[in-house]
Structure 1
Amino acid sequence: MLAPVTPGSSNLPCQALPADGAYGVLEVIDLALCKNPRTRELWSVARVQAAQVGLAQTDFLPTLDARLTASRARIDSRAVSQRGAALTLSWLLVDFGARSANLEVARQLLSAAAATLDATVQSVFLDALQAYYNTQAARAAVTAATQSEKASRESLSAAEVRYRVGSGTPADRLQAQTAWSQATLNRIRTEGVLRNALGRLAKVMGLDADQPLRLDEIPAVAPESALDASFDRDVAALIAEARERRPDMKAAEAELRAAQAGIAYARAAGRPTISLSGGPQWQDLGELSSHGNAIGLTFSVPIFSGFNTTYNIRAAEARSDVQAARLDDTRQQVALDVWEAYQSLSTASQTIRSTVDLLASAEQSERVALGRYKAGVGNILDVLNAQSALATARLQRIQAMLDWHVSRATLARAIGILDSSLLLSVGRDRKNRNP
């Protein structure tokens, strides 16, 4: 589990890389976690709830109060000064479980806050990863569009050569010119998409949208590695693991336990209490002074409070029912998240393999069509169709790569195991296959 960066920590200064530094996916995620306001907000919420636990613990301790009084009164035209001092110790000895129940509520709410923080960290992690791979996909799309533009320009050159030697027609030349212009337009559009993607990535990282960013090359995915061994299990087993590990499940369970402890607190609030009190007292009336010590037990029995306790218990029971329903809903949502993410990763894994063959055949088809046309035995439509199919295959390959990386991370988050080790494992697996 990735931990959020503690605001104000000195070991992680939350600084962007130098201008010549290249961001990899881990650097992007670390900076996003460090600067994202959602993680800072929930970190502060967790600190507030931790203070509430400490506050509940203080109920078990005695209190010590000091009191000083001074007054001046006139009695029968005579001024009388009065002074007094007292030191009082108060200690609640027995409350039949009210303090323990209140402490349990605070502890469970702290657990829920910590789990919610973990869930938010994973959500920010996934958002940063998606923004990173969307930007990488936009970079790859620009490269593919540039290659298509270059191929269209080569087709136009071939059409012009054939036209000059008399073996080509004006229609061939115009069609090639149109295809080249369209390829140029596509390249310009993809460059605009890339600039916008870089701006969105900078925003996720907590930087200004105009911040220049330089990214590492996107890691390739070998077809034989598309099915990750980490998830090559029965989906029912993954759902069971997710229900054990998901932070939002832990938060919902903790909130239910807090609500159940709230019932115990509401019931104990209507029970008797036994308190100890005592301390020295001193009083000066001018001519007379006195001092003494007192100690005693107070047994307090609530007799009638206008049905306050009854309705507090009913409200606490209703809150418990609400939390139980939310826990059931979360359990079902976890199963759905894992199921959809598992199917998406399975589809992406199969697509990875298919796009390899598709791209290879499209490249071969384009080379053959262009070679035939240059040799004077083909026509321009075959070339243009082959080049269009090649451009589509390149984009599908890019999208398949993006879908695989994002689907893998989405499934990890659905299970509750999304952290940096998941990203590092891809590099380790590739290194082991290619020593």
Structure 2
Amino acid sequence: MINRVASITTILVSAFCFTGQAQEADTSTINTPLTFKEAVKIALDNNVALKQQQNNLRASSIAKTSGLLQMGPSVSIEGNVGRNDGNSFNQQEGRVVNGVLDFTNVTLRTSMPLFRGFNQLNSYKASRELFDAQIETVERTKQDIIQLVTARYLQCLLDKELVKIAEQNVKTQQKQLEQINTQVEAGSRAGVDASNQMYQVKNAELSLLRAENSLRNDKAILAQTLQMDPGVNFTIEDPSWEAAKVDISSSLEELYTVALNNRSDFEGAKHTEAAFRFSYMALKGTYYPSISAFFNYGSAYNYIHGAENRTFDQQFTNDNVQKTYGVAFTIPIFRGFSTRSNVVQSRVSYENSQLDVENMENTVKSEVLLAYQNFNDAVTAYKVTQTQLEAAELSYTLGAEQYELGISNLVEYTQANQDYVQAQADYASARYTLMFQELLLDYATGTLSFEDIK
């Protein structure tokens, strides 16, 4: 009886585990639809580089605040508690006492910079410019992510369309093979046509296999770009954008102006140049004397073992109170050319940053020109491939009819079919490329944002 109960329990546990595994497997095979905007949002939420730049932004914010507060007063409290065993000077008795003395000292120190050659003011301005430059870096990093997702998603869309075209071609070739086999059996076609058509079927199946493999690989690259769990299976959603309505209404000169006013990397380069300029001016300020005001307030309590001592309140609030205040100055005379070396290095960094701004301006214009040309080429390619597809479809239809009537041979029919398949692929590539060209142009002009994605 016990053995039967154990056997039944084992079966139930095994069935439960199998059911759980089956449910887990079913969950992993669920195709989750993924739209382009959702893909961009996931990438912006998960991208490590963006998170690092945002962390750097917080650090820049603290550095800017610190630079501002350093122009104000500094306050500190110093103190010590200890014991002296031996000779010590007693302030209350005005003599040297030999014995055990417990002491407590507390001093409040304040200092206010009055003049330091505008060193701290320029240092604060440099930290402020670096903070603004980091803001622009974060914004451009977001645009870089959107641009990268656009390229990956576009490739997956094209792969998906090529799979559909290949699947349709396989069906067409198989249907044609069935018709030829029927005609061969009836004696109206030569047997070699069936063999040639069988080759075309297998060739279409191989093209489908390659297209499916390309889609799987590019989806894996997209998932890696989005930093998603590689075990999640998703399907690419076709954007409901009309390629025929995509157009550009601005001239190239207008796009140049828009880009130079909006490109975050260009703005960041200008802020960096300003930061180096203020840093250079701050180091030049170290040539001048520095003046600061100070005020110190301190007191002490001493306890001599084996002697009469005044109370803590009498000593700490009256007897040992000490106030020190005044103005301190430092005049640099000779520091082994260390100041001059730092100033020269800072000046070189500033001049190099000026060159970076000039180079970035040329880079921005070059990228805008390239995006503008690609946009116009994409419009032309879309119109050409659309006409090409219509002509290829008509040629294929006529070729199929002529082959069925026995007017043309299988070679001509096969060539017409291949031209039609290629025209479909070219049209799909041109259509999807044009659909995303507006985003790529916005990326080049620096106006690309997540909110503007349809």
TM-score bucket of the superposed structures, by smaller chain: 0.7 to 0.9
Q: TM-score w.r.t. structure 2 length?
A: 0.84
SS in 1 for 2:70: helix
1:3 — aligned with what?
Answer: none
Which of 349, 353, 361 matches 1:331?
361
Match of 2:425 in 1: 395
Distance of 2:157 and 2:147 partners within structure 1? 15
- Secondary structure in structure 2 of the residue aligned to 1:274: strand
Shift of 1:421: 5.0
Alignment of 1:45-64 (within 5 A): 45-64=56-75
Tell me the CA shift for residue 280 of structure 1.
Answer: 2.2
Range 52-61 or range 30-39, more displaced: 52-61
Distance 1:194 1:278, change over 3 A: same
After TM superposition, give the deviation of residue 160 of structure 1 in Å: 1.6
Q: Report how far residue 142 of structure 1 moved.
A: 0.2
Cα offset, 1:96, TM superposition: 2.8
CA distance in 1, matches of 2:224, 2:289: 57
Q: Alignment partner for residue 226 of structure 2, among 196, 205, 214?
A: 205
Instruction: Please say if residues 243 and 435 of structure 2, whose CA atoms lie closer than 8 Å, have aligned partners that are also in contact.
Output: no
| Aligned partner of 1:377 among 407, 416, 434 | 407
User: Partner residue of 2:42?
Assistant: 31
Q: Distance in 1 between matches of 2:64 and 2:252?
A: 39
Secondary structure class of the residue paired with 2:77: strand
Deviations 1:313-343 (A, max 9, x none): 1111100111011111111111111111111
Among candidates 367, 371, 381, match of residue 351 of structure 1: 381
Q: Which residue of 2 aligns with 1:42?
A: 53
Please name the residue that 1:72 is paired with.
84
1:255, distance to aligned residue in structure 2 (A): 0.6
Moved more, 256-265 or 368-377: 368-377
Does 2:324 correspond to 1:307?
A: no
Q: Is 1:108 aligned to 2:129, yes or no?
A: yes
* Aligned pairs for 1:110-149 within 5 A: 110-149=131-170
Residue in 2 aligned with 1:414? 444
CA distance in 2, matches of 1:47, 1:198: 34
Q: Secondary structure at the match of 2:183?
A: helix
Q: Return the match for 2:115 from 77, 81, 94.
A: 94
Q: 1:276 aligns with which of 293, 296, 317?
A: 293
Q: Which moved more, 1:170-179 or 1:405-414?
A: 405-414
Give the CA deviation at 1:31: 0.6
Supply the AA of the counterpart residue of 1:38.
A
Partner of 2:173: 152
Distance 1:172 1:115 in 2: 66
**Aligned residue among 309, 322, 325 for 1:295:** 325
Q: Which residue of 1 aligns with 2:284?
A: 267
Q: Specify the SS of the correspondent of 1:60.
A: coil
Assess if the C-alpha contact under 8 Å between 2:243 and 2:431 holds in 1: no
- Does the 8 Å contact 1:22/1:215 carry over to 2? yes
Instruction: Determine if contact 1:95/1:271 at 8 Å carries over to the other structure.
Output: yes
Task: Choose 295-304 or 114-123, whichever is displaced more.
Answer: 295-304
Q: Give the 3-state SS of the residue equivalent to 1:48 in structure 2.
A: helix
Q: Which digits, 9 at most, give the CA deviation of each residue in 1:121-149, with x for residues without a partner?
A: 10001111211111111110000001111
Give the drift of 1:375.
Answer: 2.7
Paired position in structure 1 for 2:16: none
- Paired AA for residue 73 in structure 1: D
Task: Measure the CA separation in 2 of the matches of 1:406 and 1:64.
Answer: 58
What runs of 5+ residues in structure 1 fail to find an aligned partner?
1-17, 425-435
Q: What SS class does the counterpart of residue 297 from structure 1 fall into? A: strand
Name which one, 1 or 2, has greater alpha-carbon Rg.
2
The change in CA–CA distance for 1:44 and 1:218 in structure 2 (over 3 A counts) is: same
Instruction: Flag the 1:271–1:318 CA change in 2: closer, same or farther, 3 A.
Output: same
Residue type matched to 1:189 in 2? Answer: R
More displaced 10-residue stretch of structure 1: 25-34 or 199-208: 199-208
C-alpha deviation, 1:372, in angstroms? 2.1
Aligned to 2:270: 253
Asked if structure 1 preserves the Cα contact closer than 8 Å seen for 2:243 and 2:434, the reply is no
Q: Is residue 238 of structure 2 the alignment partner of residue 233 of structure 1?
A: no
The residue that corresponds to 2:21 in the other structure is none
SS of the counterpart of 2:336? coil
Q: Equivalent residue for 2:314?
A: none
Question: Is 1:423 matched with 2:440?
Answer: no
> Are the aligned partners of 1:146 and 1:187 in contact in 2 as well (CA < 8 Å)?
yes
Q: CA deviation at 1:63?
A: 2.0
Deviation at 1:220, TM superposition (A): 5.3
Letter in 2 for 1:74: G
- CA shift, 1:219, in A, is 3.3
> How far off is 1:294 after superposition?
2.1
Q: Distance in 2 between matches of 1:20 and 1:380?
A: 41
Higher deviation after alignment, 47-56 or 373-382: 373-382
Distance 1:422 1:149 in 2: 40
Kept in 2, the 8 Å contact 1:96–1:273? The answer is yes
Whether contact under 8 Å (2:272, 2:353) holds in the other structure is yes
Q: Shift of the alpha carbon at 1:162?
A: 2.1
